[in-house]
Amino acid sequence: MAERLISLSGGAGNVLEAIHCTTRLRLRLRESSRVDEAGVSGIPEVQGVFLRAGQLQIILGSGNVFKVHRQVVRILQEGEGKQQPEGTSELSQKNRPEHQGVLKHIADAVSFFSDIVVPMIPLFVGVGLLLGLLSMMEVFGWAPRDSVSFRTLSLLTGSAFQMLAVMFGYHTAKRFGGTPPLGAVIGIIMTHPDLLRVTGSGGAQESSADVLIAPQFGYQGAVIPTILAVLVMTLIEKGLRRILPSSTSVMLIPFLSLVSGGAIAILAIGPLTSELSASLGSMLELVFRSGGTVFGLLLGGIYSSLVVSGLHHGIQAIEIGLITNPDISINFLLPIWSMANIAQGAAGLAVYARTRDQALRKIALPASITAFFGITEPVAFGVNLKLGRPFLGAAAGGAAGGAYVAFHQVAADSFGLTGIPMIAFIVQLGQMNVIHYVTGFLLAAATAFVVTWVLGVDERQAFGTKKHRRIT
């Protein structure tokens, strides 16, 4: 399958990079015009295909994506070793064909954040579950704060939060063509407890006990600051490579890049983005408190479209800022986001219940079930978006559920999974918080199911066309 996907994507020479998320294989391409989308879509194991901004996204499902990605990387590495003589990598990078035009640059700027976050989705999920488990231990009294089990889990959670920023720095540097280990160091800098106190704006020093009890505070909402700081350092590094002789580049460039980029991060980017992040979080909280119903209606309705475009990962940076802001300390975005995901699953169930196409039913049922556990790509891309009308039904369900949970100010104390597993993140905030979340869950699912059923399912729009392509 990996060989076939590479061939239909224009060959190994057309694939610049292969990454994956929970369900999608993402191939960054030299030339999008060389892709045979019909051929890729015709592969039985492929649940959906999406081409945007020079990146081909192939929905394979959680069972296949890891295996296929591993083989794709192996094939590309073998092809690179055979076709590229030693010492020519820099030259090939310089001569790499690029699409020109303002639109291409805008599309690249929009998609880069998704490229950085996608490889870290498993880490996001793991960190969210760790924090949820830690919160439940504290709320339900499963273990005292000074117990070995609580302190061990807290240390693990705090380390995972710091690793998030390290990986953001690493992947940002890689994405912009810098040195990834230097980007990882910037990630450590941007999450260091002494970062803001260096400039005299960090307040009192946190004790080790405080960090253990609330490990997410050490993270400081550093996603966007880390990306900005690494971007600046990468630009400095590239500039130095152009002006310094190659004989001194091995020693001087890493040193000068890290010193100058790190200084800018500590003295300018850290304090500035801290203030901006706090202001943005406060503004969102104000909008949520004063007009939460409309806010939830809009976000719940459009969130699935953000998932399709890959822009939804940017919301996670805001979520982290809300949780780590001592004046807010809750996540009121995640319940709304969850309603949209639940609605996708319910719309998929409506497709399963109404269609008589056995191939479509075989895909729709398992894809819908995974959506209720927070993974929506299979049903969104493989069923609802292909058919069109179910995607509209899911948007209606997300809007209804989002408006409800926002009106009742349902909140979570973490980020990560949505759907059914998210109950672990809301139970700590009270019984009514859980009741309104479950009610919103049912409202979103029922609305999406009914609207999808009323709009109808025309499987010929996607699956009939696919079968016809195979015959011809």
Q: From the CB of residue 259, how many other CB atoms can be counted at a distance below 10 Å?
A: 12
Percentage of the chain exceeding pLDDT 70: 71
Confidence of residue 115 (pLDDT cuts 50, 70, 90): low
| Two tokens, residue 249 | 């580049």
Cβ-proximal residues to 145 (8 Å cutoff; 6+ apart), any chain: 138, 151, 212, 213
Shared domain for 258 and 161, answered yes or no, is: yes
State CA 95 to chain mean position distance: 31
Whether 44 and 130 map to the same domain: the answer is no
The answer to whether residue 144 is domain-embedded is yes
What is the pLDDT, as a whole number, of residue 232?
92
Q: Are 365 and 410 members of one domain?
A: yes
Strand residues in 2-133 grouped as ranges (E): 15-20, 24-29, 48-52, 55-59
pLDDT of residue 127: 66
Do 253 and 348 have their domain in common?
Answer: no
User: Is 424 within 8 Å of 132 (Cβ atoms)?
Assistant: yes
Please give the helix or strand (H or E) that residue 232 lies within, else none. Answer: helix 223-243
| Cα-based distances in Å from 122 to 188, 258, 381 | 20, 29, 20
Establish if 314 belongs to a structural domain.
Answer: no
Domain co-membership, 182 together with 268: yes
* Per-residue exposure over 340-365, b if at least 16 CB sit within 10 Å of its own CB, e if not: bbbbbbbbbbbbbebbebeebeebbb
Asked whether residue 163 falls in the same domain as residue 208, the answer is yes
Total domains in the chain come to 3
Local structure of residue 179 (DSSP, 8 states): -
Q: Tell me which of 45, 78, 99 is where a domain ends.
A: 99
Helices 313-324 and 270-309, axial angle in degrees (round to 10): 140
Q: What is the pLDDT of residues 204-258, one digit of tens each?
A: 444 444 444 444 444 444 566 788 888 899 999 888 888 888 667 778 888 999 9
The last residue of one of the domains, among 99, 126, 152, is: 99
Is residue 67 domain-shared with residue 195, that is, in the same domain? Answer: no
CATH number of the domain encompassing residue 48: 3.30.1360.60
Are residues 8 and 148 part of one domain? no
Strands 55-59 and 15-20: unpaired
Task: Using CA atoms of 335, 336, 340, 341 in order, give the dihedral in degrees to the nearest 10.
Answer: -20
288 in a structural domain: no
Opening angle at CA 54, ends 50 and 57, nearest 5: 30
Most confident region among 82-86, 155-159, 224-228, 239-243 by mean pLDDT: 239-243
Same-domain check for residues 351 and 371: yes
Do the domain assignments include residue 217? yes
118 shares a domain with 88: no
Q: Domain of residue 381: give its range.
A: 330-471
Domain-embedded: residue 301: no
Identified catalytic residue from 8, 19, 21, 429: 21
Residue 286 lies in a domain: no
Task: Tell me whether residue 173 is in a domain.
Answer: yes
Determine, yes or no, domain membership for 248: yes
Sign of the Cα torsion 198, 200, 201, 203 reads positive
Q: Is 187 a catalytic residue?
A: no
Straight-line distance from the first to the last Cα atom of the chain, in angstroms, rounded to the nearest whole number:
21
Q: 370-381, pLDDT tens digit by residue?
A: 888 777 777 887
Query: Which residue among 99, 128, 160 closes a domain?
Result: 99
Q: Are residues 213 and 77 in the same domain?
A: no
344/215 same-domain check: no
DSSP 204: S
